[in-house]
Amino acid sequence: MRKLSGVITAMTTPFRGDGSIDYGSLREQVDFLIQAGVDCLYPAGTTGEMLLCSVEERKRVAEAVIDQADGRVPVYIHVGCQMPADTIALAHHAVDAGADGIGVVTPMYFSLTDRALISYYESVCREVPEDFPVYAYAIPQLAGNDLSVSVVREIRERCNNLVGIKYSYPNMTRIAEYLAIGDGFSVLPGADHLFLPALALGCDGIVSGCSGPLPEIFVAIKQLYDADDLVQARQAQLNANRLIAIMRAGADISIFKYLLTRRGIAGGVVRPPLLQLPLEEYEQIHVQIEETIQSFSDESK
């Protein structure tokens, strides 16, 4: 099974002003990210505004990304929905569309027992082929349900195709506990500022929203780490952290879209109830990004 590793970019979904999806721009985003050196693509997740898309739209997004990637990098489709039937329908579609695997966020809003969470993930894992990889996705600060280590271990024991977890809460202790599950279990943080520390701890990579508009600096962190140049890798992570802060760490997806647009890839707008920022605020953010990147060059002289 082909697991996720390296820089896995959580892609944005480009919406036009009328609310429709700009699939042409989505395909351009695929090419932009692959050319920048990211290792894997992860559409239709939180950064992709998945809960603001219909099941049919999410199927079309998956098809466009898989088709445009054309095997150049692995594509994992996020399929998690509030209704289990929709999750399973999207999981079936991902298999049929040629995805390399799927991610599945916990159900939201209603508080679920450990038994309910185990049942949910077991049902999804059993609806896809035994050799088709599934990643659980925990983002408790938004979803309201967490995946304890004991729950993940139990699901893993029942389902061999649960190959890993994306954990988007910034808790290195929990990340270490997931890694202790062992037996090749893959752990990926979703907090961009933890990329290098997580690699050092033994994680396989990161699922990164901030790498969408600025993939190069995250690619550099991984390359420097792989080359055992930890001094420069540390500096690259510290540089990235300054940019992450300017981008509000993904708290406002519209910032990613604006920065993509400034780089020549139509990022589009966010869907209601999310709102755009005033144009002058985006422009200020862009200036801060440009000045900060320039300062990296000045500081290295």
> Computed from CA positions of residues 232, 180, 116, 79, in that sequence, does the dihedral angle turn out positive or negative?
positive
Cβ(99)–Cβ(76) below 8 Å: yes
Q: Is 237 domain-assigned?
A: yes
120 assigned to active site? no
Q: Which among 3, 12, 76, 166 is annotated as catalytic?
A: 166
Q: Is 1 domain-assigned?
A: no
Residue 18: burial class (beta carbons within 10 Å; 0-12, 13-18, 19+)? exposed
Distance (Å) of CA 279 to CA 22, 242, 257, 276: 21, 22, 13, 8
Q: Which among 9, 12, 13, 46 is annotated as catalytic?
A: 46
Q: Is 288 domain-assigned?
A: yes
Q: Please check the confidence at residue 269 and state whether its pLDDT lies above 80.
A: yes
Cβ(53)–Cβ(61) below 8 Å: yes
Per-residue pLDDT, 104: 99
Please state the domain count of the chain.
Answer: 1
Q: What 3-state class would DSSP assign to 65?
A: helix
Please list the residues that pair with 188 across neighbouring strands: 166
Q: Please check the confidence at residue 277 and state whether its pLDDT lies above 90.
A: yes
Q: Please check the confidence at residue 1 and state whether its pLDDT lies above 80.
A: no
Q: How many CA atoms lie within 13 A of 243 on its CB side?
A: 28
Per-residue pLDDT, 297: 73
Print the domain residue range for 198. Answer: 6-300
Per-residue pLDDT, 301: 58
CATH classification of the domain holding 111 = 3.20.20.70
> Could you tell me the pLDDT band of residue 117, with boundaries at 50, 70 and 90?
very high
Per-residue pLDDT, 90: 99
Average pLDDT rounded to a whole number, residues 214-233: 98
Per-residue pLDDT, 2: 83
Q: Where would I find the beta strands (DSSP E) of the chain? A: 6-10, 40-42, 76-78, 101-105, 134-138, 162-167, 186-189, 205-208
| Contacts with 162 (C-beta within 8 Å, 6 or more apart), sequence order | 121, 125, 134, 135, 136, 152, 155, 156
Average pLDDT rounded to a whole number, residues 23-51: 98
Alpha carbon distance 57, 61 (integer Å): 6
Q: What 3-state class would DSSP assign to 165?
A: strand
Per-residue pLDDT, 141: 96
- Alpha helices by DSSP H, listed for 23-171, are 23-36, 55-69, 84-97, 114-126, 140-143, 149-158
137 assigned to active site? yes
Per-residue pLDDT, 72: 98
Average pLDDT rounded to a whole number, residues 85-114: 98
| Contacts with 180 (C-beta within 8 Å, 6 or more apart), sequence order | 149
pLDDT digits (tens, 9 = 90+) for 128-185: 999 999 999 999 999 999 999 999 999 999 999 999 999 999 999 999 999 999 999 9
Per-residue pLDDT, 300: 66
Q: Which among 23, 120, 121, 137 is annotated as catalytic?
A: 137
Q: Please check the confidence at residue 110 and state whether its pLDDT lies above 90.
A: yes
Structure tokens at 182: 């062992």
Q: Is 217 domain-assigned?
A: yes
Alpha carbon distance 126, 122 (integer Å): 6
